């Protein structure tokens, strides 16, 4: 399965090379042109049969992880997060250090040695370390030098009849979907970007938006799913198994209303289950693409993922397949419904 292969590759923000090479190899026979820009974004292009406008599909290759920041005298590794990670889930987690795949475990002061007031507090990352089996500083430094990237060590696993557990579903799920969509040719010019460094500030997408200058951009993401105990139903962001998610607004972008309505109407026409994201927290590459050059009409379609930014995110295969069906339908409608497409494209023009 394509998604399984993608999630098993380590690609912490700033170290996406292996993910990029895998995607490049997989799509080289379906894209007309492929290039890698100066910051590491992978951009594929398929010329349209009529080239009426430029559509950009975008997903980010990077995942959250850690970086080596120091070593103790007894051979333990000090580290810091790369991207947003809930530090409460870290003690005892297995990790992989560096390109050599060095195995390690995140440790902290044992609970039976903690004072009572320590047990009542969340352990901070500054009090944690990674144990790679060394007992001397120089040995640890040779194996895992300063600046080495650290990824979660987590296996792709099927849960029940419909769910999948894996690391990096945010956003290898988006990469996999776009790779499927690239197999078809359309009337419009299609650009597909697989961006870098999204988890540390949407950096790759800012470069992509500027150089492609698309008319419309749709970002495909793995997004927060909060349908779990302790959360009231009206506070859910998204729900597992209820279909792909359309975002109206988040912390970084305000989706174009015409494009959002077009996507929703398409879902209804093709009888595809969809849901709207009910929170405005978080953000994705749409935020930077929207504000590039003179502005771009953007929208985000996502697959809901529980326990996001952890070694064990969970998603529904139904939502994943529904997102592919929805995007196939949206691209078909954009191709066939020229009048409506022109309305979307002209909606942002200001005649003085």
The residues annotated with a catalytic role in the active site are 198
- Do 283 and 137 contact (CB within 8 A), yes or no? no
Instruction: Give the count of beta carbons closer than 10 Å to the beta carbon of residue 217.
Output: 29
Q: How far apart are CA 41 and CA 147, in angstroms?
A: 21
- Do 179 and 25 contact (CB within 8 A), yes or no? no
Q: How far apart are CA 182 and CA 184, in angstroms?
A: 5
Q: How far apart are CA 120 and CA 97, in angstroms?
A: 30
Instruction: Provide the strand spans (E) within 127-215.
Output: 129-131, 149-152, 157-159, 163-166, 189-195
- Do 210 and 296 contact (CB within 8 A), yes or no? no
Instruction: Provide the strand spans (E) within the chain.
Output: 33-36, 42-46, 54-60, 65-71, 77-82, 94-97, 102-107, 129-131, 149-152, 157-159, 163-166, 189-195, 216-224, 245-246, 275-276, 297-306, 313-316
- 3-class DSSP state of 105: strand
Q: How far apart are CA 320 and CA 153, in angstroms?
A: 23
Query: Any idea which residue has 């279909």 for tokens?
Result: 243
Q: What are the residues whose beta carbons fall under 8 Å from the beta carbon of 21, sequence distance 6 or more? A: none
């Amino acid at each position: 399965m394509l998604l399984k292969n993608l999630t098993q590759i380590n690609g912490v923000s700033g170290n996406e090379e292996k993910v990029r090479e895998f995607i490049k190899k997989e799509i080289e026979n379906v894209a007309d042109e492929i290039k890698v820009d100066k910051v590491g974004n992978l951009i594929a292009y398929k010329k349209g049969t009529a080239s009426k406008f430029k559509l950009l599909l975008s997903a980010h290759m990077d995942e959250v992880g850690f970086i080596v920041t120091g070593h103790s005298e007894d051979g333990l590794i000090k580290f810091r997060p790369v991207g947003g990670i809930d530090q409460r889930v870290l003690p005892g987690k297995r990790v992989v250090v560096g390109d050599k795949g060095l195995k390690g475990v995140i440790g902290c002061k044992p609970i039976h040695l903690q004072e009572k007031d320590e047990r009542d507090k969340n352990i901070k990352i500054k009090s944690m370390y990674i144990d790679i089996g060394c007992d001397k500083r120089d040995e640890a430094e040779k194996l895992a030098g300063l600046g080495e990237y650290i990824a979660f060590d987590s296996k792709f696993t099927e849960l029940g009849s419909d769910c999948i557990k894996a690391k990096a579903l945010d956003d290898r799920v988006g990469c996999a979907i776009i790779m499927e969509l690239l197999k078809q040719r359309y009337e419009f010019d299609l650009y597909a970007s697989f961006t870098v460094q999204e988890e540390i500030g949407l950096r790759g997408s800012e470069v992509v938006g500027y150089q492609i200058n698309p008319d419309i951009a749709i970002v495909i993401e793995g997004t927060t799913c909060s349908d779990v105990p302790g959360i009231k139903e009206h506070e859910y962001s998204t729900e597992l198994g209820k279909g792909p998610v359309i975002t109206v607004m988040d912390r970084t972008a305000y989706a174009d209303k015409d494009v959002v309505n077009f996507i929703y109407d398409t879902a209804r026409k093709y009888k595809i289950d969809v849901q709207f994201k009910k929170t405005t927290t978080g953000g994705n590459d749409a935020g930077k693409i929207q504000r590039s050059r003179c502005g771009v009409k953007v929208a985000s379609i996502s697959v809901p993922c529980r326990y996001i930014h952890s070694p064990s995110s969970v998603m529904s295969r139904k939502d994943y397949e529904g997102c592919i069906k929805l995007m196939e339908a949206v691209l078909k409608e954009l191709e066939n419904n020229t009048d409506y497409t022109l309305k979307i494209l002209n909606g942002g023009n200001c005649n003085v």
